[in-house]
Amino acid sequence: MLTWKKAFSSTVGRKFLMGLSGLLLVGFIFAHLAGNLTLLVPGGEAFNLYAKKLSDLGPLLYVMEVGLIFVFLLHIVSGVRLKIENKGARTQGYRSTRSKGGPSKSNVASINMIVTGVIILVFLVVHIWQFKFGPGMDDGYIALVDGKKGRDLYRLVAETFSNPLWAGFYVFIMSLLGMHLRHGFWSAFQSLGLAYPRYSKPIYLLAMLIAAATALGFIILPLYLYVMHAGV
């Protein structure tokens, strides 16, 4: 049985934790994207209602946020430690992207997972600072939400993305997220011991589809809001 002590102290355990936490984060990203797609509904009422329903969860929302932070930290720490171990164990760089079983999944995304991961982490801090702790009702961001006065988060998001620099920044980060997910999803199945040879190609194809759908879904949002609110 894999205990927490064994998981943190062994390479196999850390791979398992990184893979499991990675899949949990993919689930969160999909749920977050589903909610954010309400930004495409004209007027902003749908998005503000979505934001209000999350806020109305009260203490449960805080528990979920703490759990999410724990999963993020688990994923980051496991990934960094594995990267350090692999670098220390490697006596020379790879000269080929082939393995004994044929072509490997080594590519720009896989080689730069730590880099893209750190950039995405910095982005998350900026993202939370902008929207979760950004201007609220006391600052005039008020709208009727489900018949009551509530925070006009849609206005804040629309104003942010009406700036071409912010819109471009989000598009860039979401492109990196797609790269990270493409290799990360596939790697998670390997880490969990689920990448059986017969399912290897379908899993890799699924990873590509998930990465592309996620990146495009998030990229559409700032571009759409920029066009709608910047008069382009």
Q: Residues near 35 by Cβ (< 8 Å), separated by ≥ 6?
A: 50, 54
Residue 58 counted as domain residue: yes
Q: Whole-prediction pTM value? A: 0.83
Largest separation between any pair of C-alpha atoms in the chain: 65
When pLDDT is averaged across residues 66-82 and rounded to a whole number, the result is 89
Residue 113 counted as domain residue: yes
Q: What is d(CA 21, CA 25) in angstroms, rounded to the nearest whole number?
A: 6
Residue 222 counted as domain residue: yes
What was the pLDDT predicted at 100? 41
What was the pLDDT predicted at 103? 44
Structure tokens at 93: 């760089």
Rounded to the nearest integer, the mean pLDDT of the chain is 85
- pLDDT tier for residue 163 given thresholds of 50, 70 and 90: very high
Question: For a pLDDT cut of 70, what percent of the chain falls above it?
Answer: 85
Q: What is the pLDDT of residues 109-134, one digit of tens each?
A: 667 788 888 999 999 999 999 999 99
Pairing mode, if any, of strands 98-99 and 102-103? antiparallel
- Range(s) of the domain holding residue 39: 10-88+108-229
Count of domains for the chain: 1
Q: Is residue 206 within 8 Å of residue 176, measured between CB atoms? A: no
The domain spanning residue 76 has which CATH number?
A: 1.20.1300
